[in-house]
Structure formats: structure tokens, C-alpha cells
Amino acid sequence: METEGGITVRRALELPGLRGGLPEVLACADRLDRTVRWVHAGEAPNIPALLKGGELLLTTGLTLGSRPAEQRSFVRRLADRGIAALVVELGPRFSRLPAAIVDAARTAGLPLVQLHREVPFVAVTEEIHTEIVNGHYALLRRAEEVHRRCTRAVLDGGGAPQVLGILADFTANPVFLETPDGRLLYAAGTGTAPVGADPLQVWDGLRGDREDRETPPAGAVLVEVPGGGQGAGSVRARLVLLAVAGPLVTVHRMAAERAAGILAVVLMQARQEEELAARGRGDFLTDLAEGRIAPEDAPAQARVLGFRPGTDPLLPVVMRLAPGSAPAGSWALLARAMTEELSTVGVPALLGVRPVEGRIPLLLALRPGTGRAAAADRVAAALRAGVERAGLERAGDGTPVVVVSDAGGWAAAGAGLRHAAEAATAAQGLGELPWYDARRLDIDLLLWRLRDQPDLASFVDRAIGPLREHDRNSRPPLLPTLEAYIAHAGRKAEAARELHLNRQTLYNRLARIGELLTADLDDPETVLALGLALRARRHVP
């Protein structure tokens, strides 16, 4: 059993030195898991005053007194000093410990052991101290292993979330990073956490509404992350470990102190706290979308993150950036710019970032009288303004895609976020509309999911292959003409206006398309197949 920097009384009794004395536990056998931090042997009458707590006291009983009142007083004073156990060697002073000593130890909750054979106290002390030192070394090695894993994670491109996740797995308890004034930056749970131990729920219950944020909850470990300002004692953040699934012991604090040093280096980068908080919100929204957070638990967890929509409907929105358009280090600036732009919309919003997927998920509270389309217009404009303020360069087709799902309650918010995220991926490169309705992208989403199927590429090639070949070798290109014709449902006048062509030129081009494809462009089934092929060609080589 692991102890707080020592060994247990039980383990001490199992070592050869004391075992050779034939130990007999007379009182408090249920407390043998108490920690022995040191061993002291002595017969001085004032020995209780010399002890600091956690010692295993070895004595022959010469100072225990001859009268019952003296014996009880001596045992009480030892118990008040917080020693781990009292071990008395039988011999000239006692052939068996008196009832007064046994009763006093039992009343004080002090483990009492008598040795039936003489043992060399020096050898016992040396043996137990060696065991304690070895135990400390083992703890150091375990803590150093956590430090090594955290360092490797950072060197491999990870950051604070990875460091906190490693620490959470090691302690089997949730781990939090907060600002010096107690505001949550990031919460990390463990994959082995029991049901109901979601880190945000834990924070809300044990930490979220506490007025005294300087003092950690009972059983918690709080370690300061240095580097927040001027001076050697400056604090940038605080690492908080909460005892939920099990107790926190010495090695957990040691590992947390080493992790704090790594976090200090990570957080030295500009605005890392802001990016970390944005990632935490992104993790929450993603967990909600993936069904890892129950709808009934979501409001409390969102409240921890500062989102309080009340009973207003929730509007799920996802922006997807083009691959490569948001380099490392830009997400903090992007999150801040978007959050500031969203503040002008005038409704509560919870915005997160997901750098790996290149997504910005958010939930918006629809106030009474605010229509979905109007809110979507304002949100899309704010998000795009945030991208411009962040100064992100376009890479390839660098147009951000904004997708809006249906408004509803918490039960529908997760599915709405998931639908919007998938549709945003499928819509990349589709065009430059301010925002897209997720429902109108279902066909594109279906085609995107089939992108790796050989049948989809064959279908596109059969339907519009000759036209694609023509456009690679001849001018003018004809694919834009077919797209405009289908987009306007065969209304040639409208297609001609969009293409800035006179009607005769349009007719000639449509005739040429019909010849190349051997298709009747007035046949509804043919037009449907061609429309699907045009939409699918973005997803195939």
C-alpha cells in the first residue's frame, strides 16, 4: 500500500528485525496502515516532547511509569504527538503490558505492540529507515517517469492538454488548470473515471461556486505554476488535483510539481492561457456532439465555462477553416478575435476551437424575437470578421465555411453540432455563401462519405467525364454552363444572366454539352444524375 512518504506500521512489523521479536498487536489492529515516517528508540521520561509525529517508538517500557495513572498519561501524550505506533519490548520491566497501558492506547486510537523476544533496536531502526529511503526513491522514480512522459508529449508537438491528460491518467483523478484568481482554464479527465465523474461536473460541484478559491477542497492538491509576472514568486496559473476516484498521495503531488514546471514553459508562449481555455470549450462542445455528455448534465458544465443561455433555444454553428490557413500559434488570437466580434451580436455564445480538425464550434442562445436566419447572418459575419482580424492567410481554397443547424434544446444541440461539423467538412470548396443550412448539405454530406468508394468515381466519370476532358483541352469551359443550368432548374434565361451570355450562345453551349455527354438535358432523370455528378466531383480525383 502506498503511503505519504514512508511505510506502514504493518510493513514495519513484517520486516525481519521486528518479526524476529514475535510482535503481538494489543490495541488498534485496524490502524496498522498508518504511516511510519521515522523510527525513534529511547527511554527518556520526556520523550513525547521530542517527537514530531509519524514516528514508530521503540522502548523497553522503563519510562512508562509504575502506577496506572502515570502509564495512561504517558500513552495519551504519545498519542497527542501523533506517533504512528508504540512498540514495547518485554523483559525486565514488563513480562506483559499492564491493562492500563493497553486500555489507554485503545482509547487514544494508538496502535500498541509488544515484543516477546529481545531485538537489537539499532538494527531495527536501520532496517526500517532503509525501507523508508527506498520507498522515497521509488516515489521519485515514478514521479520522474511522469515528468519524462510529459516532456516527450511537449517535444512531440503537444501542449498543456496533453500534459494534464497524462497527469490525470497517472492520478486516476480529474486535473484542472486555473488562473491565479480561480478561473478555470482547462479540465482533464481520465479514461478510467467512474460514471458521473466528468471533470466539468466535478469542478462545478467541488470548486465552481466556492467563494474561497485560495484554499483547495479537502483532499485536493494545489501546485502553483510559476511565471505569471515580475519577481521570483510570480504565479501564472495553478494546477489543481481533486480526489474523486481515490485519494491523492505523495507521489501525485511530486508528479504535479514536475508537471507544473513543464506547464510553466508551455504557458510562456503568447496567449497560451487563452488558447487553452478555448480548447477546453472546444472539447466540451465536441464531447456534447459525440454523445459523451448527457443533455441533462450539459447545462451545469456549460455554466462552468461561462455559458448561461437560460431557457432560450440553442443554435449550433460550426466554422471550418481551410487546411493550412490557421498555423500553430494563431488559434489564441483567432479565438479572442471571434469572441470579441460575437460580443457585438448581443446574445450569449459559447465558442471553442479544435485546431486538429480546423474547426470552430459554438452554441448561440436565441433570444425571443430573434429569428434563426437573422441570427445566422450576424454570427457568420462575426466569425468571418474574426478571421480577418486574426490576419489568417488563405491557403488554396481558403474560404471559411460556416454551417448552421436547427435551433433546439440541449437534447438536440449535440446532434446539431455533429451534423454541422460533418456538413462543414463536406462543404469545403463549395462556394462563398455567408453560411450554409446543414439540412441543405445532406446530399453533399452523403457524397462526401462515399468519397473513398470506387463506385462514386466511376459514376462521376460516366456522367460528366467527357465534359471534364473537354474543359482540360478546350475553351470556353462548359462545366460552369452546366452548373448554372442545373442550379436554375433548367430556366435558360436565368442561367444566361448569371453567366453573362446571350441566349443563343447559351443554347449553343447546351447543345454541345448534350453532344459530348450523349444526354438529353430536358430529361429530369438525366438532369438529376448530372447534378449529383457535379456535386460529387469535388470529392473524387
pLDDT tens readout for residues 363-421: 999 988 888 999 999 999 988 888 888 776 554 446 789 999 999 999 999 999 999 99
Give the residue carrying C-alpha cell 489564441.
332
Q: How far apart are CA 103 and CA 225, in angstroms?
A: 49
* Residues 481 and 532 reside in one and the same domain: yes
Residue 169 lies in a domain: yes
Instruction: Indicate the number of domains in the chain.
Output: 4
> Which residue, of 243, 268, 293, is where some domain finishes?
268
- Looking at 432, 448, 464, the residue that finishes a domain is 448
Residue 105, C-beta contacts closer than 8 angstroms, at least 6 positions apart = 26, 27, 28, 75, 79, 86, 111, 112
486 and 394, same structural domain?
A: no
Residue 174 lies in a domain: yes
3-state secondary structure 16-30: HHHHCCCEEEEECHH
Confidence at residue 274, expressed as pLDDT on a 0 to 100 scale: 77
Provide, rounded to the nearest whole percent, the portion of the chain with pLDDT above 70. Answer: 91
313 and 223 in a single domain? The answer is: no
Q: What is the pLDDT of residue 286?
A: 92
Helix (H) or strand (E) holding 364: strand 359-365
Residue 414 lies in a domain: yes
> Is 200 within the bounds of a domain?
yes
**Does residue 287 form part of some domain?**
no
CATH number of the structural domain spanning residue 320: 3.30.70.2730
For position 204, which CATH number holds? 3.30.450
Query: According to the model, what pLDDT value does residue 328 have?
Result: 64
pLDDT at position 24: 94
- Bridge partners of 221, per DSSP, are 241
- Which positions ≥6 away from 82 have C-beta within 8 Å? 53, 54
Choose the final residue of a domain: 414, 448, 482.
448
Confidence (pTM)? 0.62
pLDDT of amino acid 193: 47
Q: What is the CATH number of the domain that holds 112?
A: 3.40.1390.20
Q: Residue 182: its pLDDT value, please?
A: 80
pLDDT value at residue 458? 92
- Whether residues 164 and 263 share a domain: the answer is yes
274 in a structural domain: no
Spans of the chain, pLDDT less than 50: 1-3, 193-196, 231-232, 270, 395-397
Enclosing domain of residue 367: 305-448
Domain CATH for 510? 1.10.10.2840
Shared-domain flag, residues 403 and 455: no
Residues 18 and 101 occupy one common structural domain: yes
Same domain assignment for residues 314 and 433: yes
Residue for grid cell 482540360: 472
In a domain, 22, yes or no: yes
**In a shared domain, residues 432 and 344:** yes
Distance, in Å, from the CA atom of 482 to the CA atom of 175, rounded to the nearest integer, reads 57
* Dist CA 224 CA 253 (whole Å): 11
What are the φ and ψ backbone dihedral angles of 117, each rounded to 5 degrees? -125, 155
* Same-domain pairing of 210 and 89: no
Same domain, 434 and 315: yes
> Would residue 284 count as lying in a domain?
no
